[in-house]
């Protein structure tokens, strides 16, 4: 029953989305309100139907309805309740439903928010959003139908990929997809601007907050992905430049560039062509990411299964890129810049350089990701480039970006005078230099680490200088300290939200630097009662216990960790799932501000007499997650409605 | 070219990238070359679910399809079970044998699987996992095509289709018997 209902709902939703896209376009051309109204109704209908699909699939998961092939593939009778819910989007077909559902939700919000406020763009925005939605519904009905029937109905299902049995699986995909799908909104507005010829800054003003929201979710998705990698995959790291990670990172980079470059257009009427290109590129990269992770073109540790879906995504990517870039070429004459750079030493050029760097990083990541394909075309052999390539090329670019993070927000527009530079940067530069000397004196010898940390201090100092000066200005007109600071944050929430996000990024940079430069690890085989030592920690192997869990068999080691005093017992384990050939590592750790102690269980003797254990002491990693929280606060501040004018 | 014509290079710039990605479909990243291809197939003797012995040696002179599967391997093994049965019926009179090796499974679940799909070719459990280790299987399903002289000639990872079976089996049947 459920397969038929779900499939029917998806088909009707597809028809409605196509209808809505066409009528909205016709409504835009003819100006007849009835057509537009019909498109709106269709969009709401799509939302209701996709919600129904989602609910049906969830119900099928909760009731172990193995007549739905997707349920049988991704769950079994032992799957705990919680993971039967996350299993809904744990694999390809369900992830497409989640995606379509979010896109439908965004479409409805766009209707609610912009049907009056953005009248000129709105019909075309609706066309584009419903068009994109129609594509995902087409995938849902043809290429990767989540409601395909299984026959014969198996008595039990295969089970969820054990690596996905983690609490992060509820937040990570949701955040990531909210980011990806959210980027459809600025893209739709950009296309509407090109189609209508209104390529001024109206579309940018309208989409500014949309972009920040999407960017924020994307950032959150990346961070939670890093956290998942860190505490589930058991290799002690949080980022591996895996194609799937890169696929999410690239649109984040270009969206970041866009968030900065729009400020130049708002202020100086420059970069129209560039901004439109960035939005198109960003949306194209989200599709590319989906294509990459779901087509099987490039092998990855956590790629989805391959199938006909790759051809679908590639065709759609081609359609999107050729249409959007074609429109760009068509409107070429209207896109010529009105302003020009007055000076190299100005905020415009700092932002421009920031954009160039971000796009350069995007390009290198793209190049590294598709390198296996390139090498196959050129030489007939598949060669991957690994983390060393990405790190070597990108670390200098990241450092330059951090430097610009300090310069950009404070340097004057148009042409910075010597006085402006001295007033804003003399103190921070001095603080940065002193910090560099200080870190060196403290024994930091890695040049990259010293440079990163000093730059971080420099940028933090520029933020402090700016904030202190603005607060002082308010104190001078008689405000008191805390109301003055609060007023600054709330009234100039976009500027100070941006600063807080920058602080978050700086904290993440410190975490990354620390973990790269100072983490240590060792691997050793211990008999029962024996200890190993690493970086002041003593780890004693106590015993080994086996237990039967609901859907797997688990062997856990008990290790007492102490550094002078006993800190606790860590229990890393290996989990044996019947559907997996090799066991899944379950790491155990103790997080700290300075360092984490992190244990991975390796081979063990069946009688429990000895076990191999990998010990890692990872330095400053927690600051990555703390930086993520700060970034969250900053993004929320920037998303708040601007109160400057009203207050 | 006039100055305005240059602008059409913008959309054209996307073409090489798209072409590169399209090229990606021609290659299969999951194709793991087996070092066993070309080597003699490791011998084994197992007991079929119906109690009869299943010995690879006894099939010398025939083309053998050895398929590793499990009852929990949904959906790939479920998809290919009818394919295997069809192939067995179509080719058995032409000197082809299909042998199913069930790994990491319980006897009861496996017997239900064989019964549900009405499989009539020899199927046996590999209780110790030795056979699957000898053949270097990464997962299920995996299928090995063995020629009349007992050498492994091809390996297929993932669910079989009628086309895949036909290509490999016809090629081996076309070779001279000696």
ipTM value of the model? 0.78
Reported as a pLDDT band with limits 50, 70 and 90, residue A383 is low
Whether A299 and B10 lie within 8 Å, measured CB to CB? no
Cα(B162)–Cα(B75) distance, rounded to whole angstroms? 17
Contact state of B72 with A158 under an 8 Å Cβ cutoff: yes
Res. A323: pLDDT tops 70: yes
Q: If you count residue pairs, one on A and one on B, with CB atoms under 8 Å apart, how many are there? A: 92
The answer to whether the CB atoms of A297 and B29 lie below 8 A apart is yes
How far apart CA B133 and CA A604 sit, in angstroms, is 20
Conformational region of residue B136, where left means phi above 0, alpha means psi within -120 to 50, and beta covers everything else: left
Predicted confidence (pLDDT) at residue A426 exceeds the cutoff of 80: yes
pLDDT tens digits for range A597-621:
999 998 888 888 999 999 999 999 9
Omega before B141 within 30 of 0, i.e. cis: yes
- Establish how many alpha carbons lie within 13 A of residue A587's alpha carbon, considering only the half-sphere containing its beta carbon: 23
Rounded CA-CA distance A170/A89 in Å is: 9
| CB burial of residue A596 (10 Å; 0-12, 13-18, 19+) | buried
- For residue A298, the distance in angstroms to the closest alpha carbon of chain B comes to 7
Q: Does A418 touch chain B (CB under 8 A)?
A: no
Average the pLDDT over each of A252-256, A343-347, A630-634, B36-40 and give the range with the smallest value.
A343-347
**CB proximity A581 to B under 8 Å:** yes
Token pair for residue B12? Answer: 């054209």
Contact B25 A299 (CB under 8 A): no
Structure tokens at A356: 């160039």
Please indicate whether, in this complex, the C-beta atoms of B29 and A311 are within 8 angstroms of each other: no
Within 10 angstroms of residue A537's Cβ, the number of other Cβ atoms is 18
Residue contact B27–A321, C-beta within 8 A: no
Mean pLDDT, chain A, integer: 88
Give the H or E element holding residue A638. Answer: helix A622-639
Largest CA distance in chain B: 82
Domain boundaries, chain A: 1-165, 172-386, 387-518+625-638, 520-623
**Interface touch B25/A297, C-beta < 8 Å:** yes
Alpha helices in A66-121 (DSSP H): 69-74, 81-86, 92-117
More confident residue, A168 or A639: A639
Cis amide leading into A488 (omega within 30): no
Is residue A147 predicted with pLDDT exceeding 60?
Answer: yes
Q: What is the DSSP letter of A201?
A: S
Q: Is there a contact between A325 and B10 if contact means CB atoms under 8 Å apart?
A: yes
**Residue among A487, A495, A489, A433 nearest A461 (CA):** A433
Is A315 in the B-facing interface, judged by CB distances under 8 Å?
Answer: no
Which of A187, A221, A177 shows the shortest CA–CA distance to A207? Answer: A187
Q: Are A107 and A46 a contacting pair, CB within 8 Å?
A: yes
Contact by Cβ (8 Å): A450, A304: no
Residue ranges in B3-129 assigned as alpha helix (H): 9-12, 14-23, 76-91, 107-117
Q: Compute the distance between CA of residue A226 and CA of residue A172 in angstroms, rounded to an integer.
A: 9
Does the distance separating the beta carbons of B75 and A318 come in below 8 Å? no
φ and ψ of B154, to 5 deg: -160, 155
Strands B142-146 and B152-157: antiparallel
**pLDDT value of position B74:** 74
Q: Is A311 on the interface with B (CB under 8 A)?
A: yes
Q: Does B19 touch chain A (CB under 8 A)?
A: no
Helix (H) or strand (E) holding A597: strand A595-604
Chain A: closest CA distance from residue B3 (Å):
11
Tell me the per-residue pLDDT of A209-240, one tens digit each, with 9 for 90 and over. Answer: 899 999 999 999 999 999 988 988 777 888 88
Beta carbons of B21 and A317 less than 8 Å apart: yes
Q: How confident is the model at residue A302 (pLDDT cuts 50, 70, 90)?
A: very low
pLDDT at A645 (0 to 100): 46
Angle at A287 between CA A283 and CA A292, to 5 degrees: 140
Contact B25 A311 (CB under 8 A): yes
Could you identify the residue written with the tokens 């029962």?
Answer: A528
Tokens 């087509």, residue? A295
A-chain residues within 8 Å CB-CB of B104?
578, 581
Chain B residues with beta carbon closer than 8 angstroms to that of A155: 109, 112
Is A160 a residue whose pLDDT tops 90? no
Q: What is the pLDDT of residue A10?
A: 95
- Mapped onto helix, strand or coil, the DSSP state of residue A323 is helix
Between positions 16 and 35 of A, the ones with CB within 8 A of B are none
Phi, psi of A267 (to 5 degrees): -85, -40
| Inter-chain CB proximity B20 and A150 less than 8 Å | no
Structure tokens at B59: 């099939």
In this structure, CATH architecture of domain B3-174: 3-Layer(aba) Sandwich (3.40)
Residues facing residue B145 across a β-bridge: B65, B154
Q: Is B60 helix (H, G, I), strand (E, B) or coil?
A: coil
Q: Please answer whether residues A372 and A380 qualify as being in contact, where contact means their C-beta atoms are separated by less than 8 angstroms.
A: no
Token pair, residue A101, equals: 């559902």
B14 contacts in chain A (CB < 8 Å) = 318, 321-322, 325
Domain residue ranges in chain B: 3-174
Q: Give, in order, the Cα–Cα distances in Å from B104 to each of A63, A151, B131.
A: 27, 23, 11
Closest approach of A261 to chain B, Cα-based (Å): 20
Q: How far is B82 from chain A (nearest CA, A)?
A: 11
Task: Determine the Cα–Cα distance for residues A568 and A462; give it in Å rounded to an integer.
Answer: 42
Structure tokens at A263: 């400020």
Hey, are the CB atoms on B74 and A157 less than 8 Å from each other?
yes
Taking only the tens place, the pLDDT of each residue in A96-107 is 999 999 999 999
What pairing do the DSSP bridges indicate for beta strands B53-55 and A588-590? unpaired
pLDDT at A300: 46
Kindly give, in sequence order, each residue whose CB lies less than 8 Å from that of residue A446, ignoring residues fewer than 6 positions away.
A517
Instruction: Read off the pLDDT of each residue in B32-53 and give the average, rounded to a whole number.
Output: 87
- Cβ(A365)–Cβ(A394) below 8 Å: yes
Each residue of B115-146: pLDDT tens digit? 989 999 999 999 888 898 889 887 788 899 99
Torsion angle of C-alpha atoms A97, A98, A101, A102, degrees rounded to 10? -150
Say which DSSP state A68 is in: B
CA-angle at A300, arms to A169 and A622, nearest 5°: 50
Per the CB < 8 A criterion, the answer to whether A407 and A258 are in contact is no
Residue predicted with more confidence, A87 or A17:
A17
Structure tokens at B50: 């119906």
Give contacts of B103 with chain A, Cβ < 8 Å: none
Q: Give A-chain residues touching B75 at CB under 8 angstroms.
A: 69, 72-73, 150, 158
């Amino acid at each position: 029953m459920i397969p038929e209902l779900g499939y029917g709902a998806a088909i009707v939703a597809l028809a409605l989305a196509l209808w809505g896209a066409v009528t909205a376009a016709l409504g835009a051309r003819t100006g007849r309100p009835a057509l537009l109204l019909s498109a709106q109704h269709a969009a709401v209908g799509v939302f209701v139907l996709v919600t129904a699909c989602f609910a049906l699939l969830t119900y099928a998961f909760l009731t172990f309805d193995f007549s739905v092939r997707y349920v049988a593939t991704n769950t079994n009778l032992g799957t705990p309740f919680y993971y039967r819910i996350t299993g809904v989007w744990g694999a390809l077909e369900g992830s497409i439903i989640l995606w379509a559902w979010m896109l439908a939700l965004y479409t409805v919000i766009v209707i609610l928010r912009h049907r009056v406020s953005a009248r000129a763009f709105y019909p075309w925005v609706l066309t584009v959003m419903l068009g994109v939605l129609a594509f995902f519904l087409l995938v849902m009905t043809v290429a990767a139908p989540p409601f395909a029937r299984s026959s014969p109905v198996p008595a039990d299902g295969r089970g969820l990929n054990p690596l996905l049995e983690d609490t992060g699986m509820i937040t990570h995909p949701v955040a990531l997809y909210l980011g990806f799908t959210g980027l459809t909104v600025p893209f739709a507005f950009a296309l509407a601007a090109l189609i209508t010829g209104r390529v001024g800054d109206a579309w940018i003003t309208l989409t500014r907050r949309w972009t920040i929201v999407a960017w924020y979710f994307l950032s959150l998705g990346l961070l939670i992905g890093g956290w998942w990698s860190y505490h589930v995959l058991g290799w002690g790291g949080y980022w591996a430049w895996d194609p799937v990670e890169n696929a999410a990172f690239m649109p984040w980079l270009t969206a970041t560039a866009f968030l900065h470059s729009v400020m130049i257009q708002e202020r100086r009427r420059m970069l129209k062509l560039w901004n439109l290109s960035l939005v198109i590129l960003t949306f194209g990269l989200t599709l590319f990411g989906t294509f990459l992770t779901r087509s099987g073109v490039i092998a990855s540790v956590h790629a989805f299964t391959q199938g006909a879906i790759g051809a679908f995504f590639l065709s759609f990517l081609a359609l999107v890129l050729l249409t959007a870039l074609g429109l760009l070429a068509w409107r070429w004459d209207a896109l010529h810049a009105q302003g020009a750079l007055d000076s190299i030493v100005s905020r415009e050029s700092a932002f421009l350089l920031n954009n160039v760097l971000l796009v350069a990083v995007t390009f290198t990541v793209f190049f590294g990701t598709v390198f296996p394909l390139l090498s196959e075309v050129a030489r007939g052999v598949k060669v991957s480039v690994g983390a060393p390539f990405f790190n070597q090329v990108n670390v200098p670019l990241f450092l330059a970006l951090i430097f610009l993070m300090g310069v950009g927000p404070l340097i004057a527009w148009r042409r910075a005078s010597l006085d402006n530079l001295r007033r804003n940067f003399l103190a921070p530069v001095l603080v940065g230099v002193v910090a560099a000397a200080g870190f060196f004196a403290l024994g930091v010898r890695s040049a990259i680490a010293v440079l990163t940390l000093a730059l971080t201090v420099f940028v933090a100092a520029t933020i402090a200088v700016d904030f202190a000066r603005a607060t002082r200005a308010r104190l001078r007109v008689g405000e008191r300290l805390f109301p003055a600071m609060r007023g600054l944050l709330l009234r100039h929430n976009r500027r100070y939200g941006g600063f807080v996000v920058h602080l978050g990024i700086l904290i993440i940079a410190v975490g990354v630097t620390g973990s790269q430069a100072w983490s240590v690890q060792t691997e050793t085989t211990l008999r029962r009662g024996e200890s190993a030592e690493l970086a002041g920690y003593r780890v004693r192997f106590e015993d080994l216990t086996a237990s039967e869990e609901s859907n797997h068999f688990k062997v856990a080691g008990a290790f007492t960790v102490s550094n002078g005093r006993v800190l606790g017992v860590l229990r890393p384990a290996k989990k044996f799932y019947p559907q997996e050939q090799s066991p899944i590592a379950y790491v155990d750790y103790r997080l700290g501000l300075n360092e984490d102690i992190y244990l991975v269980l390796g081979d063990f003797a069946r009688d429990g007499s000895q076990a191999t254990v990998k010990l890692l002491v990872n330095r400053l990693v927690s600051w990555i997650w703390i930086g993520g929280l700060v970034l969250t606060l900053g993004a929320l501040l920037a998303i708040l409605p601007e109160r400057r004018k009203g207050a | 070219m006039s100055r305005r014509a240059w602008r059409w290079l913008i959309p054209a710039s996307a073409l090489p990238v798209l072409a590169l990605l399209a090229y990606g479909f021609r290659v299969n990243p999951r194709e793991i070359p087996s070092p066993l291809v070309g080597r003699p197939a490791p011998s084994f003797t197992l007991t079929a679910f119906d109690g009869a012995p299943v010995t690879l040696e006894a099939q010398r002179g025939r083309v053998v399809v050895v398929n590793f599967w499990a009852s929990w391997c949904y959906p790939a093994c479920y998809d290919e079970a009818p394919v295997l049965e069809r192939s067995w019926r179509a080719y058995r009179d032409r000197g082809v044998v299909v042998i199913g090796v069930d790994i990491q499974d319980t006897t009861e679940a496996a017997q239900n699987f064989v019964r549900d799909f009405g499989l009539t070719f020899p199927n046996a459990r590999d209780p110790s996992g030795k056979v699957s280790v000898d053949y270097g299987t990464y997962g299920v399903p995996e299928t090995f095509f063995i020629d009349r002289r007992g050498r492994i000639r091809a390996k297929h990872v993932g669910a079989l289709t009628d086309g895949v079976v036909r290509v490999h089996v016809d090629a081996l049947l076309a070779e001279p018997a000696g």
